[in-house]
Structure 1
Amino acid sequence: MMSSTFYSVSNPFRDLEQLETIERFLKENDPFVHAAFSLDTSKYQLRDYLQYSHNPGPPIYAVLDRNIISRVVKVGSGGSLDVENNTDRLTMAVMAFLCAANIEVEPNIALYEVTATQENNNVRSELAAVRIANELHPTTYAEIAFGESKHASRFELRKARKKIKYMSLNSAKFERFLPHWEMHHLALTKIAVLARQNKNPEECLRELFRWSLEDAFFDGIAVSLGVVLLGSKGGRSLVMRAVRSSDPDKRIAVVANATWDLTYASYWVKRTKQFNGPCLFVTADKRLRALCRLAIGNHSHQELFRDYWPAPHAKELLRAYNDVEAIARDMPRRRDYYSTDAWKQKMHEMQRELTKQLRDIVSD
């Protein structure tokens, strides 16, 4: 255990009380999912991160979702936030902590979403705003988070702009579409179509398993979301209520939005393997955190079925899921086939047909 003298030397906040308020608020809201990083006490104690950064080793990165990044961009651009909004406040507490811990913000996946979903976007200016925001003092964020200020001062913003002046802002081609988004979108459209059919939830889930093996592919994280959404608790979710809407445009839109959740999770898992060091995922979305924890192995499928399915069915469905996963894992040349033009054409054809079904099918 580190003594309080560590804080007197290294605490970047105004005082110990401000730091402890930030740590307590983050712990209560729990926005972090972590990988490849073992903490002695809590993922919301700054001293552990500072101790890590004082030792030789790779830096810590944080992948932020679009809801968080959009608020970071606003502050980095000189805008104001509403401290009565919990996501605004949480974003400021997150940035206070990340900046204090010298954690590098990785905004790429959020900027991919911008290019895919918004017209007339200016991704390069948003990336610059994120870099500026990453250079602001932690106390600036703490003061916004707890109502002492509504925005970063002009002085702080000028200092940050000078620091990023010579940074390269062309690190990624954000207009390029993500292939795993398309795969997730196909699987989620199938789940939505199943949810609108006059079948019981267990039949729907078993049909999803069959379709994944015989007609399409086994997208593990998408199937896991299907376990949640088709389960007794998942049926009450905002996603499923929108899927059952009489408005076909609303049904199409919610599937696309949920696809981005899956894409964030799979992108983060990929980045944890690419970064030569620890990586956090940060989101205010509880369901997205659960997906990321499942994808990285911090949550088991046994827990998932237990949480979302009644006991008589959970054990049987878990066994069926494990069988399907094992078969998919052992399928020869699976990866080679999914990179071929023939597969891409088939996937696009299935997507068009399923989207038509989702638009046209009448739910009983």
Structure 2
Amino acid sequence: MSGSVTFTFDPRFPFSDVAALGRKLQTSGHLVPGFTPPSVGYLDIAAIRCAHDLEGWNLVVMADRNFISRLAQACRLGAGTEPDDAQLSAVRLMAFCKAMDLDIDPSISFHELAQVQGKTAALDELAWFRAADRGGDAQAWIDFAFGRTSALTVAGPAPRETADLARPLRRWRRNYVAALKIAGLELDDLKPAARFERLIDWMYEDFQLCGPAALFAAVYFSGRRPSKMMKGLRGNDRTKALAGVRNAAWDITYLSYFADAVQASEARHVRTILATRDDALAAIAPLVLLGPEPEDYRPSLGQALKQWWPAADAIRSADRLMTCAWRVQAEGPRPLPQGASSIEDMTTEMEARLLAWRPATG
């Protein structure tokens, strides 16, 4: 009995083009699979078909605002206007997803846009995303991705929706408090390892354990962190410093939704790929897959943190986080602060402290 499996494709299926798009996307550094990829690659055409047709897995691409915004921009380009690199990346992603019949999940992208640019801009962009997602066949997107055509055939935006995208997400509000705490500890005169220890102690004793925020901090507090994780934190313009913390809270929230998708994958039989053009987010996202011990060809969290920390500090930080997670699991999650120490009060107090901070002179 043969162990091989043969898949058939419609003769019109642009196999070589789609395979090339998959390789380009997979090596771009902008996609993070929330599962252990097969040896041939997680965007290999046959691997996707095998996972879907034989094993029943659906594959979903969770895209951040960078990808979704560039996709909307590409739809509005005039004929003859070449897309820039970021827009072209978004076009390639959409072309591949359309060809392979994969869903693109914009996740919280439009909520982030509404907070940054206002609800009108977010609803406008959502309309263009809907048009791109539903309109145009795969071949048209492929041809544009390869520069064979001068414009996309997206017939205008979809009807505008009425969702309240500007309303703050409860999860983002929690992550914003965690991001403010991370920023405050970064500005304190502490050693990096001590900053992380104090963050975990604060989460356990006075707040909630926010795993994605802790992973963000584990990289941010290191001496080798990616740039622009919290823009302008030590600058003279404290308003920009606060905006940088708010942006970090969005990054943490993407991590949070990605972590949830990974955790629920078995029950839902859905595998998720995070698509982001944020280098720091792409670097941190794989950490949500890791545990205290190596497994499934993955390192332990402590081993993975060694790329940012000295070995001893990496192991110690990972152990502290895992110990806290085990305690929370045994005791049950704590409710968010109420009353005098409510989320609103904590946010106001931490924002005021951040705005009042001044760089040392002399």
Class of the TM-score when normalised by the shorter of the 2 chains: 0.7 to 0.9
Q: 135, 153, 178: which one pairs with 2:169? A: 178
Identify which range, 99-108 or 267-276, moves more after superposition. 267-276
Residue 26 of structure 1 pairs with residue 21 of structure 2: no
Residue 220 of structure 1 pairs with residue 219 of structure 2: no
- 1:121 match: 120
Unaligned ranges ≥5, structure 2: 291-297
Alignment of 1:109-188 (within 5 A): 109-119=108-118, 121-134=120-133, 135-152=135-152, 156-158=153-155, 173-188=164-179
CA distance in 2, matches of 1:66, 1:86: 16
Q: Is the 8 A contact 1:222 1:262 kept in 2?
A: yes
- 2:246 match: 256
- 2:325 match: 325
The AA in structure 1 aligned to 2:105 is E
Identify which range, 88-97 or 72-81, moves more after superposition. 72-81
Q: Is the 8 A contact 1:37 1:278 kept in 2?
A: no
Question: Alignment partner of 1:176: what SS?
Answer: coil
CA distance in 2, matches of 1:104, 1:295: 22
- 2:313 match: 313
CA distance in 1, matches of 2:219, 2:346: 23
Tell me which protein shows more helix as a share of its residues: 1
Question: Alignment partner of 1:307: what SS?
Answer: coil
CA positional deviation for 1:299: 6.5
Question: Alignment partner of 2:229: what SS?
Answer: helix
Residue 295 of structure 1 pairs with residue 288 of structure 2: yes
CA positional deviation for 1:131: 2.5
Q: Is the 8 A contact 1:144 1:151 kept in 2?
A: yes
Q: Is the 8 A contact 2:178 2:213 kept in 1?
A: yes
Question: Alignment partner of 1:62: what SS?
Answer: strand
Alignment of 1:1-364 (within 5 A): 6=8, 9=10, 12-13=13-14, 16=16, 18-35=17-34, 39=38, 41-54=40-53, 57=56, 59-77=58-76, 85-119=84-118, 121-134=120-133, 135-152=135-152, 156-158=153-155, 173-234=164-225, 237-240=227-230, 242-271=232-261, 273=264, 277-297=270-290, 300-332=300-332, 334-335=333-334, 337-338=335-336, 341-342=338-339, 346-364=342-360
CA positional deviation for 1:288: 1.4
CA positional deviation for 1:271: 4.3
Q: Is the 8 A contact 1:107 1:127 kept in 2?
A: no
CA gap 1:82/1:284 in 2 versus in 1, 3 angstroms: farther
Task: Determine what percentage of the aligned residue pairs are the same residue.
Answer: 21
Q: Is the 8 A contact 1:40 1:48 kept in 2?
A: no
CA distance in 2, matches of 1:79, 1:214: 55
The AA in structure 2 aligned to 1:277 is V
CA gap 1:226/1:37 in 2 versus in 1, 3 angstroms: closer
CA distance in 2, matches of 1:245, 1:80: 42
CA distance in 1, matches of 2:183, 2:58: 40
Runs of 4+ in 1 over 6 A off after TM superposition: none
CA positional deviation for 1:151: 2.4
CA positional deviation for 1:123: 4.0
Identify which range, 224-233 or 23-32, moves more after superposition. 23-32
The AA in structure 1 aligned to 2:101 is N
Q: Is the 8 A contact 1:228 1:304 kept in 2?
A: no
CA distance in 2, matches of 1:266, 1:281: 11
CA distance in 1, matches of 2:161, 2:187: 44
CA distance in 2, matches of 1:202, 1:276: 38
CA distance in 2, matches of 1:169, 1:291: 33
CA distance in 1, matches of 2:305, 2:13: 43
CA distance in 1, matches of 2:316, 2:58: 43
Identify which range, 128-137 or 48-57, moves more after superposition. 48-57
Identify which range, 251-260 or 312-321, moves more after superposition. 312-321
Q: TM-score, normalised by structure 2?
A: 0.82
The count of residues paired between Structure 1 and Structure 2 equals: 346
CA gap 1:123/1:195 in 2 versus in 1, 3 angstroms: closer
CA positional deviation for 1:355: 1.2
